[in-house]
Amino acid sequence: MVNWQLIAKILGFLLFIEAGLMMLCQVVCWLYGEGIHAFIPPIAAALLLGIVGVIVGRKAGKKMGRKDGYIIVSIVWVLFTLIGMFPFLLDGHVSDVASAFFETMSGFTSTGATIIDDLDSMPKGLLFWRSLTQWIGGIGIVFFTIAILPAFGMGEVKLFAAEATGPLHDKVHPRISMAARWIGGVYVMLTILCVAALMLCGMNAFDATNYALCTTATGGYGTHSALLGDYYNSPAIEYVLIFFMFVSGINYTLIYYTILKGKLKKFFADAELRAYLIIVLGASLICTVSLALGDPMYDVEASVRHSLFTVISLQTTTGLATVDYTLWPVQLMPVLLFVMFAGACSGSTCGGFKCVRLSIIYRVLKNEFTHILHPRAITPVRMNGNIVPNSIVQTLLGFVALFVCSLFLGAFVLALSGVDPNDVHPNFDYYEAFGIAMSSISNVGPGMGYYGPVHSWAILSPLAKYVCSFLMLIGRLEIFPIMLLFTRSFWKKG
């Protein structure tokens, strides 16, 4: 049975958190003397709904079923987006609901695709809200809540299971709330280091904070519409961002063990990290060679820097850009699409398919070949020396199927919904639709063709924006939790 009262209560608590976050942005508005009060009505709404939820759930039993966890996690991401879009609408920088919903969902899922053409004229409070949604969404709304609320005390395990990414979960502490605090500590530390590093490279405090929030969240929102390379033209900033994007793509549990427990050996022996490194280095190498040889614009250092930046930015699904990679030699497009699909490590803030799954698939394939030659050999799949149970390999298979189906279906609907024919870019190419779908489901940000890092996605039709939002949501929660709600057996009694 679904325990609706408990769900209402927990959602109520979560809404208080969102109200608190928006309050922070309102304070930023006041600090910068921007006469904007766009956050006040949504804060009031969140508080009101939160109180209603807590009152409805005041008599709720403490027992949380597996279903309840999935329902809460699915609802909370949509609910946060619905309330979080009001500042954009009320302030008037975004005129229609579809766009505001898209922008906020892109924030919370740490995708980074935007429909705002001119960021530089946006009020600072709103820019900070965009960055903050990414930072919270990057680590996970529920995860964030478990980490900061000391006495949450209600079915954390189930909530955690519904939101955590990747097929294998490693705990750093016996209790989830403590584990969340440690991992959250790593996250905060990375963010602070990133702010400091960016400021040392000459960014002002506000930009540094925003870029740091969006980088460690592997989100990709920024405070300027222009490309990073054009706006700052500072290799130092780019190298700093390369480093922090790369680190944010590593499994935080692994970072925790390396930094706090000094297990450096474990770090480099990790199978997923190796796969991540191989893909990053391989793809960067291909890009570097292609650019250095094929494009007179780039010298060797620039080729290396831009290749690394673009590959890491796309693979960690951050989506920041120094140059417009859509203008690169055409043979690099499949490479970039692949890294967008691959994503970085599970247990990090990135999206995409995740290296651990690729690594498992590689091992399954290797076993298959062994099996053809040695039909009677017992060949378990091993990751880091532990045997991966067959059930996990099976789930992985299901995930691949769902991922591919969602991708193609998404691209199909996007191509069908089209763009406004009177707009600047009236034609919608199939590879653009595909790029948008891939970018959305992998939570990257920029896509292919016109929809690359230079232009916003403002010209998409409202339907296309909703489709993209949905793809981002299922991509962020790794498809199963959302799809589960659409199955009949989920709602059947018993």
Partner 1 sequence: MKIVIAGAGAVGTHLARMLSNDHQDVVLIDADENKLLRWGNELDIMTLVRQPTSVNGMRDVEVNHADLFIAVTPNESENLACAMLAKQLGARQTVARVDNYEYMKPENIELFKKMGIESLIYPELLAAEDIMTSSRYSWVRQMWEFNNGELLLLSVKMHDAHPIYEKEISNKNNQLVGHTLKEIGVTYGHNFHVVAIKRDGETICPHGDEQILPRDLVFFMTTKENLTEIRHLTGKDDYPAVKNSLLIGGGKLSVRACWKLETIHDSVKIIEPDKKRTEELQSLVSPKTMILEGEGYDVDLLNDEGYGSTEALIALTDNDQQNILACVAARRRGIHKTIAQVENLDYFDMANDLDIGTIINKKMIAASHIYRMLLKGDVDNVKMLTIGNADVAEFVVKAGSQVTKKKVMDLRFPRGVNIGGMSREGKSMLVNGSTQLQAGDKVVVFCIDNTLRKLDKFFK
Residue 352 zone, left/alpha/beta (φ > 0; ψ -120 to 50; rest): left
In the complex, the smallest distance separating the C-beta of residue 391 from partner 1, rounded to whole angstroms, is 8
Q: Which is nearer to partner 1, 169 or 374 (CB)?
A: 169
Asked if 40 and 102 touch (Cβ cutoff 8 Å), the reply is no
Give the amino acid at 401.
A
Q: What CA–CA distances, in Å, run from 308 to 19, 130, 197, 297? A: 38, 26, 19, 16
Distance CA 224, CA 246 (A): 22
In the complex, the smallest distance separating the C-beta of residue 455 from partner 1, rounded to whole angstroms, is 44
Q: Which is nearer to partner 1, 398 or 426 (CB)?
A: 398
Q: Which is nearer to partner 1, 43 or 388 (CB)?
A: 388
Q: Which is nearer to partner 1, 172 or 471 (CB)?
A: 172
| Contact residues for partner 1, defined by CB under 8 A | 156-157, 161, 169, 171, 173-178, 386-387, 389
The residue with tokens 């969240």 is 217
In the complex, the smallest distance separating the C-beta of residue 59 from partner 1, rounded to whole angstroms, is 11
Q: Which is nearer to partner 1, 70 or 80 (CB)?
A: 70
Q: Which is nearer to partner 1, 256 or 450 (CB)?
A: 256
In the complex, the smallest distance separating the C-beta of residue 80 from partner 1, rounded to whole angstroms, is 24
In the complex, the smallest distance separating the C-beta of residue 174 from partner 1, rounded to whole angstroms, is 4
Q: Which is nearer to partner 1, 178 or 286 (CB)?
A: 178
Give the amino acid at 179.
A
In the complex, the smallest distance separating the C-beta of residue 176 from partner 1, rounded to whole angstroms, is 5
